[in-house]
Amino acid sequence: MVDELLGEVNSRMQKALDGLAKELGAIRAGRAAPALLDNVVVDYHGSPVPLHQLATVSVPEANLIIVQPWDRSSLRDIERAIQAANIGLNPANDGNVIRLAIPPLSEERRKELVKLVSKRVEDRRIAVRNIRRDGIEKLREMEKNKEISQDELKSNSKKIDQLTESYVESAGELGQRKESEIREI
């Protein structure tokens, strides 16, 4: 029962960290990355469809993304969806593919993005700490109901604290990597 709880806490913390990695991947850092288009949803024949299900997204150069749809009739829809996604990129449609040139970031925009990254990292750290609190509360409840001893409560609380520490540290490392990527010119 305690092992299930520890597994659940670990799983929830991992999901929080995975979500952070996905969020940070979608933040434009002055270099082209297919993850920038992960949140683009295209209205394709009346149905919302994620872009990656309609086209191949490639990065031939550090500052260029090419979107090649499998169905050329969807080119205009994809172009509109990219514009509507408000990611700061202007699509150039040549009839076969859509080219997205990644403009260099201004110093002011870099600072804004670094603040955004810091905020997202801190939000995830708080989420991990909340998961820790929930896990320890469940342990205390189990101890109160005489399902575990006080020694087991203390040792398992330490395990949860160690898990929390490692996930908070990992979130910080992800944030530092993204910040250095943003600051890189």
3-state secondary structure 141-164: HHHHCCCCCHHHHHHHHHHHHHHH
How is residue 97 written in tokens? 């593919």
Q: How far apart are CA 156 and CA 37, in angstroms?
A: 41
Query: 179 with 117, same domain?
Result: yes
Residue that finishes a domain, picked among 101, 127, 159: 101
Per-block mean pLDDT, blocks of 10 residues, the chain (185 long) = 90 94 80 81 89 89 89 88 82 89 83 91 96 94 91 93 95 93 78
Residue partners of 154: CB distance under 8 A and separation at least 6 = none
In which region does residue 45 sit, left (phi positive, over 0), alpha (psi from -120 to 50) or beta (all else)? left
How is residue 34 written in tokens? 């297919």
Query: 38 with 15, same domain?
Result: no
Amino acid sitting at position 79: E
Q: What is the pLDDT of residue 18?
A: 94
Query: 17 with 49, same domain?
Result: no
CATH of the domain at 164: 1.10.132.20
Q: What is the pLDDT of residue 185?
A: 63
pTM score, whole prediction: 0.73
Q: What is the pLDDT of residue 130?
A: 96
Domain count, the chain: 2
